[in-house]
Amino acid sequence: MKRLGSLLGMLTVAALVGGVLTSTPASARATTETVHVANVTESAPDANPCSGATGMLTQTYSGVFHSTVLPNGTSWFTGTLHGSFSFVPDDATQPSYAGKFTTWFGDENNLRNEVEHETFRVKLLGSDGSVLMAHETSHFGTSASGLTFSFDKIRFSCP
């Protein structure tokens, strides 16, 4: 969950810097922007979802964000990130993990509907030879009538 919060925080910064959240006059044309990021590193305390061991989670990633905003307020924002992921436990008797991750996310809004979705996959090799894998797929949508639909499926493959 902290990983998702970290990504959402980063998305907010990218949206603000990229101009996604700016208003446009009614006579304006669509604005489209692409932002590339490279070798961004984030670290935060976290816990191993399989053992509960506390430690430091570090991710270094590169990726691309695309945004399009129409004068009527319809907007699309999507991004893909890939990079390395590591977990070093506070207790040296617990295994550390390192590997790769990929995530894709999108947000689409118009005057009646909205939808947000994400996929995330990580495969980590443990210092003890074990393998930890995780996959998440989430979706949230709101229709013109206000009906919402959402799910968040998370699978862990623990050693």
How far apart CA 159 and CA 157 sit, in angstroms, is: 7
- How far is it, in rounded angstroms, from Cα 158 to Cα 69? 42
Task: Compute the Cα dihedral for 79, 82, 84, 86 and give only its sign.
Answer: positive
The 10s digit of each residue's pLDDT in 47-61 is 999 999 999 999 999
Rounded to whole angstroms, how far apart are CA atoms 6 and 53? Answer: 20
Predicted local confidence at residue 111, as pLDDT: 83
Token pair, residue 158, equals: 């623990």
- pLDDT at position 23 over 60: no
Dump pLDDT digits (tens) for 132-143. Answer: 999 999 999 999
User: What are the helix (H) ranges across the chain?
Assistant: 2-18
pLDDT value at residue 25: 54
